[in-house]
Chain A
């Protein structure tokens, strides 16, 4: 039962352009969403989060959008840089879960220079 889905295994973007990574979820109880970035041989590192009471959160080049009615969120990276090349995981949680996270399968982002 995949509660969090990232349907695009990979994405290739030109340096300086926008990268858009998508994530869908099925459990309507989820109220907190996060994006993690993972480089090879390293653990995932927190990137940005959004609470279900918001529909947008921005941090520098990274913006996350949440559409609760569609159970969909997206991560926008503008402008994309070669150093952004990594695996991006979408994760979700809800209050009763504490800080137990449910992850998607990840999207490999390649930013070409």
Chain B
């Protein structure tokens, strides 16, 4: 049973570019959350998708957008990249409103913005 898978594992972009990160949830899960982990910090909640709609959003600008597909996989898009967007982007999946310990994380995508 594959867990949460993310692609790519590493990515290098330049300022002003756009990037798309992908996530496949754990089998049986229908909810996907995205987190940004800057160097030396804990993960910070970006947004959560359920039934192909954004259900919750953290304190991130509109440059950060997402999408959830009918198969529950998800994409995170970041436009007009800034140097400060360099971070590890983590995807987490769960089933509906299950308790938090049922939240499973992927290994992340390391984004470097030059």
Assembly CA distance A98 to B32 (angstroms): 12
What total of A-B pairs shows CB separation below 8 Å? Answer: 67
- Minimum C-beta distance from B35 to chain A (A): 8
* Residues of chain A from 52 to 104 with CB closer than 8 A to chain B in the complex: 89, 91, 93, 97-104
Q: Collect the chain A residues with CB atoms within 8 Å of residue B92's CB.
A: 43
Does B40 sit at the interface, judged by CB under 8 A?
yes
Q: Does A49 lie within 8 Å of B105, measured CB to CB?
A: no
Q: How many residues of A contact B (CB 8 A)?
A: 25
Per-position contact with A for B88-114: 1 when CB-CB < 8 Å, else 0? 001010100111111111111000000
Q: Across the interface, name the chain B residue whose C-beta is closest to A43.
A: B105
A residues with a Cβ closer than 8 A to B are: 4, 6, 32, 34, 36, 41-46, 49, 89, 91, 93, 97-106
Residues of chain B at the chain A interface (Cβ within 8 Å) = 4, 31, 33, 35, 40-45, 48, 55-56, 58, 90, 92, 94, 97-108
Could you list 9 examples of A-B contacts with CB < 8 Å?
A34-B100, A41-B107, A43-B4, A99-B31, A99-B94, A99-B103, A100-B56, A103-B42, A103-B43
